[in-house]
Amino acid sequence: MDNFEQLKEICREACHERNACKPGFEALMRTETIPQIMQVWKDNWDDVYRSRYSDIMVRRLAEQSPSMIDEMRKGGVYVNEDRYDGYVIVSNPGRTISVGGTARAYLFTAAEVTATDNAQVYCRTSGVKVTLHGHAYCHSEARDAEVTVYNFAHAEGQMQCTTYNAAEVVIQGGTLVDHGHRRIAAYGGTRVYSDATKGIEIGGQARQYPMVAMESQHTGKDNNDNDNML
């Protein structure tokens, strides 16, 4: 089989295994080139990114030839590349990727991404590290994701977050250490370490603690959470 036939067969198998929606499957069957397959992916990206389909595709992509990956690039989907546009699949464990411009990076494995400009980063896998600059954005569904937010960047979701400058974060679980922010909204049992009183919203089971409480944890000193809450 040539690259197109091989990729289409991989997609067909993945669709059957996860019971893909009928319109998406029918659109896939009508494709005649790899760029057309990439357009079907982008039209159904939530399925590609969130379902078992993604697990199958990432595993099989690692087995494919460089020439197939080159043809995917013509459809605006890139694999483990630094980009300023398009959809970037990050599937190699330990890989470090940089994205900028309007690129959208999707982490399917434990990897590291730096985003600038208006780039977007999406992660739902443990062990990832994301650094945001400029007006970049990150949405994290992994509570242990390490997300560092600089400048006017924006992060949402569950994470282990550190903020600087005029960062904006809506965190719904995990920990946030504040060294500067424009706005922080914390919910869902989040622990916020900050001495600031402005620009911070604490709701649900989230709690705010002074920075000294975090420092005492690192030094091994006894720390009573209730006594140290702000």
Q: What is the DSSP string of 141-201?
A: EEEEEEEEE-TT-EEEEEEEEEE-TT-EEEEEEEEEEESS-SEEEE-TT-EEE----SSEE
Q: What angle do CA 16, 121, 23 make, to 5 degrees?
A: 25
pLDDT in tens, the chain (230 residues): 799 998 888 888 878 776 666 788 889 899 999 999 999 999 988 888 887 677 776 777 777 788 999 999 999 999 999 999 999 999 888 889 999 999 999 998 899 999 999 999 999 889 999 999 999 999 999 999 999 999 999 999 999 999 999 999 999 999 999 999 999 999 999 999 999 989 999 999 999 999 999 876 655 555 555 556 76
Which helix H or strand E contains 120, and what residues bound it?
strand 120-123
What proportions of the chain, in percent to the nearest 5, are helix, strand and coil? 30, 35, 35
Predicted pLDDT at 49: 86
SS3 119: coil
Domain ranges of the chain: 3-73, 80-228
Predicted pLDDT at 61: 77
Q: Tell me if 105 sits within 8 A of 90, measured CB to CB.
A: yes
What global pTM score does this model have?
0.91
Q: Tell me if 69 sits within 8 A of 34, measured CB to CB.
A: no
